[in-house]
Amino acid sequence: MRVVIAEDSVLLREGMARLLSDEGIEVIAQVDNADAFKSRVKADPPDVSIVDVRMPPDHNVAGLVAATQLRSEMPDFRVLILSQYVEPHYALELLETGADGVGYLLKERIGTPSQFIEKLKVVAQGGTAIDPDVVSQLFGRPRRDDPLSLLTERERGVLAAMAEGKTNAAISDSLFMSEKTVESHVRNIFMKLDLHSDPDTNRRVLAVLRWLRQ
């Protein structure tokens, strides 16, 4: 797997690069600003990129902007956004460009390298990875006549896992239930929340996140 890292903090950039090479992942380039990142990716597309949301030149959301631009220009561009912020807005903005091969994780996930690398691989393979903190913030959003209260504890767990971008297989692994059970939970959830069911796991993420944010 070939990776480009775009991160302006030397500490984290080098740390991540070491982490990845320890796991046998090839870091083909490290850049510290959005412009260099764009040209580097266009010159030699990696399997997946890790991009800091905030970067030079504007120290604003240049990383996110560059990532969404590249996604519209290059259909196979896969990117894991690293963010300081628990902001569903950014995750949604990213997902609007298509849900396959994108991730939005808090930077602190680097602190648990094994999970971080696992998510990176999901994204590299075209899956979706949304930070659990982002999902749980959305779950915590107060709602009038909260429809989430119609869900059972189990169903809420499945919904959260869907929001994180997990496939049915991944959900069945993490929640210790059969895929058949997961499927029936998913059906129930969609019915109870009045959501249009979508067989595509990645598009499902967007639908669920949008529902949670409305």
Partner 1 sequence: MHWLSCPGTIGPRMSGRRWVFALAVAVSLGAFWSQQYALNRYDLNLPIPEWLWVQLAVGWAFLLAGFASHTRRPDSATGRWMIALGLIWIGRLVFTPPLIQWESIGLGVAFYGLLFVILYTFPSGRLSGWERWAIPIYLMVVAVLSYVDVALTDFYGWVVDNQVCCPSHLLLIEDNPELRNRLASYSAVGAALVFLAIVVSFLARWRRATTVGRRDVGPLVLVLLPLLLMMVLIPGINAFVDGFASFPFPDPAANRLTLYLQNGALVLVPVVIFWQLVGTRLSRAKVADLVRDLSDSGTPDELDSRLRTTLGDPEALLVFRREEDGDYVGVDGRSLSANVFNDKAVSPIGDRVSIVHDPAVDADLVSAAGNAARLAITNARLQAELKAQLIEVRESRLRLVTATDDARRRVERDLHDGAQQRLVALAATLSKAQENETTDNPVLRSLLADAAGEAQLAMEDLRNLARGVHPAILSQAGLGPAIATLADLSRIPISSEVSAERYSDAIEVTVYFVIAEAVSNANKHSEATQIDIVIQRRGGELTISVEDNGVGDADAQGSGLRGLRDRISALGGKFTVDSPIGKGTHISASVPPDTASGVT
Beta-strand (E) ranges in 63-138?
Answer: 79-83, 102-106, 128-130
Per CB under 8 A, 143 contacts partner 1: yes
- Which residues between 184 and 213 bind partner 1 (CB under 8 A)? 213
**Per rule CB under 8 A, count of chain residues that contact partner 1:** 32
Residues 6+ apart with CB under 8 A from 4: 27, 28, 29, 30, 31, 37, 40, 41, 46, 49, 50
Min dist CB 106 to partner 1, Å, is 8
Q: Which is nearer to partner 1, 9 or 125 (CB)?
A: 9
Structure tokens at 214: 């409305």
Shortest reach from residue 12's CB to partner 1, in Å: 5
Q: In the complex with partner 1, which residue's Cβ is closer, 85 or 183?
A: 85
Q: Does the protein bind partner 1 through residue 21 (CB under 8 A)?
A: no
Going residue by residue from 75 to 114, which x/- string records binding to partner 1, judged by CB under 8 A? ---------xxxxxxx---------------xxx-xxxxx
Nearest to 77 by CA among 90, 92, 66: 66
The smaller minimum CB distance to partner 1, of residues 44 and 57, is found at 57
Q: Applying CB under 8 A, does 60 fall inside the site for partner 1?
A: yes
Q: What are the CA-CA distances from residue 209 to residues 54, 64, 131, 163 (Å)?
A: 23, 18, 12, 6
Comparison of 58 and 76: residue with beta carbon closer to partner 1: 58
User: Please, are residues 6 and 37 in contact by the beta-carbon 8 Å criterion?
Assistant: yes
Shortest distance (Å) from residue 168 CB to partner 1: 27
Residue number with CB closer to partner 1 (95 or 171): 95
Residues 6+ apart with CB under 8 A from 8: 32, 33, 52, 55, 56
Ramachandran category for residue 44: left, alpha or beta (phi over 0 → left; psi -120 to 50 → alpha): beta
Residues within the interface to partner 1 (CB under 8 A): 9, 11-12, 15, 19, 54, 59-61, 84-90, 106-108, 110-114, 137-138, 140-144, 213
